[in-house]
């Protein structure tokens, strides 16, 4: 009799543990309420099925981004239309490293959030997705479709290597799937590669395939699904010096023109090239030497 009771007790304990485990799993996979008062920027964490708030985004004011006036005007107009609830294009920002591709997305978001406070616009959220999580994009879009906000979905440094099949998920939600992307979502990506894949990958596909054109068409057509292709190219010397001077003036760093020119050009030479990132790194060094904070 005691033995039966023991078995029954063990079964009861096992049943309760199973129920607890199921409830915990349900909590983990349940839809997480999005608190838009906590932040206007979030990071997608698919392993936890949640959008993590980012109260303080690392960015610079839009006016400080120099040397990219033409592309800035195009992407700003496109983003403003989206924020206002009008049709807009997904955008691929590609080109030289350190020329402000990701900076302009973050700066535009901040600028339009402020502008939206004086307009009858829905909240504008910046949501970052890591390129390693592109395969979960459909799951994220299902969540964003239920949000009463305009969602600027952003993937920095997007590219695909030889064995990466995640580009198929991106193609489907950008343009080709049955559901497509929700009307309240716009997708921006930055990349050093115009076609989001290495050149040797394209050349290898063409050289080994029976039909070289069809072999790469599926992968190359991914970039065609972005309505805007905006190229960021290496800056010339004058643009570089303009960037440096703009930063110095904005942060109140006292330095004569001749000195800042000589130091900035030497700094660029030691870094092997000129770019917005190199200009910012020089300003960090200059501010440190002067004992000044850039906060």
CA distances in angstroms from 268 to 4, 81, 249, 261, 277, listed in the order given: 81, 37, 19, 11, 10
Mean pLDDT of 44-64: 93
| % of the chain exceeding 90 in pLDDT | 58
Mean pLDDT of 203-217: 50
168 versus 26: which is more confidently predicted?
168
User: Would you tell me the crossing angle of helices 237-250 and 276-290 to the nearest 10 degrees?
Assistant: 40
Report the distance separating Cα 82 and Cα 29, nearest Å.
31
Question: Which pLDDT tens digit goes with each residue over 243-264?
Answer: 999 999 999 999 999 999 999 9
Helix boundaries (H) for 37-174 = 69-83, 101-116, 137-144, 167-171
Longest Cα separation, the chain: 97
Whole-model pTM: value is 0.80
| % of the chain exceeding 70 in pLDDT | 74
User: 34-38, 81-85, 142-146: which has the minimum mean pLDDT?
Assistant: 34-38
3-state secondary structure of 236: coil
CA distances in angstroms from 81 to 109, 112, 295, listed in the order given: 12, 10, 31
User: 16-25, 220-229, 249-258, 285-294: which has the minimum mean pLDDT?
Assistant: 16-25
User: 65-74, 131-140, 212-221: which has the minimum mean pLDDT?
Assistant: 212-221
Report the distance separating Cα 190 and Cα 115, nearest Å.
24
Which of the four CATH numbers 3.30.70.360, 1.10.1060.10, 3.40.50.300, 3.10.310.30 does domain 41-232 have?
Answer: 3.40.50.300
Whether 223 has a pLDDT exceeding 60, the answer reads yes
Mean pLDDT of 89-93: 94
- Mean pLDDT over the full length of the chain: 83
> CA torsion 127→128→131→135, rounded to 10°?
-30
Mean pLDDT of 267-286: 95
Question: Which pLDDT tens digit goes with each residue over 149-198?
Answer: 999 999 998 877 666 666 677 776 676 566 667 899 999 999 887 767 65
CA-based nearest residue to 32, from 22, 21, 43: 43
Confidence of residue 38 (pLDDT cuts 50, 70, 90): confident
Report the distance separating Cα 82 and Cα 89, nearest Å.
8
């Amino acid at each position: 009799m005691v033995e039966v009771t023991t078995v029954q007790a063990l079964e009861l304990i096992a049943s309760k543990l199973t129920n607890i485990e199921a409830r915990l799993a349900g909590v983990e996979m349940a839809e997480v309420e999005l608190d838009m008062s906590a932040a206007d920027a979030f990071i997608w964490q698919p392993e936890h099925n949640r959008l993590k708030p980012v109260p303080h985004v690392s960015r610079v004011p839009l006016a400080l981004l120099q040397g990219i006036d033409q592309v800035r005007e195009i992407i700003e107009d496109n983003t403003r239309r989206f924020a206002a609830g009008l049709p807009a294009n997904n955008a691929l920002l590609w080109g030289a490293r350190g020329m402000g591709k990701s900076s302009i997305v973050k700066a535009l978001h901040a600028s339009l959030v402020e502008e939206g406070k004086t307009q009858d616009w829905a909240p504008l959220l910046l949501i970052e997705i890591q390129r390693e999580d592109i395969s979960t994009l459909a799951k994220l879009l299902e969540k964003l479709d239920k949000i009463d906000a305009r969602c600027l979905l952003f993937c920095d440094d997007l590219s695909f290597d030889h064995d990466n099949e995640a580009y198929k998920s991106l193609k489907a939600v950008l343009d080709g799937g049955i559901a497509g992307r929700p009307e309240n979502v716009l997708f921006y990506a930055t990349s050093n590669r115009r076609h989001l894949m290495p050149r040797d990958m394209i050349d290898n596909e063409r050289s080994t395939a029976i039909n070289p054109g069809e072999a790469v068409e599926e992968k190359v057509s991914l970039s065609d699904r972005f309505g805007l292709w905006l190229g960021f190219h290496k800056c010339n010397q004058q643009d570089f010096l303009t960037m440096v001077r703009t930063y110095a003036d904005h942060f109140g760093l006292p330095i004569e023109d001749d000195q800042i020119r000589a130091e900035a050009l030497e700094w660029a030479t030691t870094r092997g090239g000129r770019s917005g990132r190199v200009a910012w790194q020089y300003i960090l060094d200059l501010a440190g030497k002067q004992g000044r904070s850039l906060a």
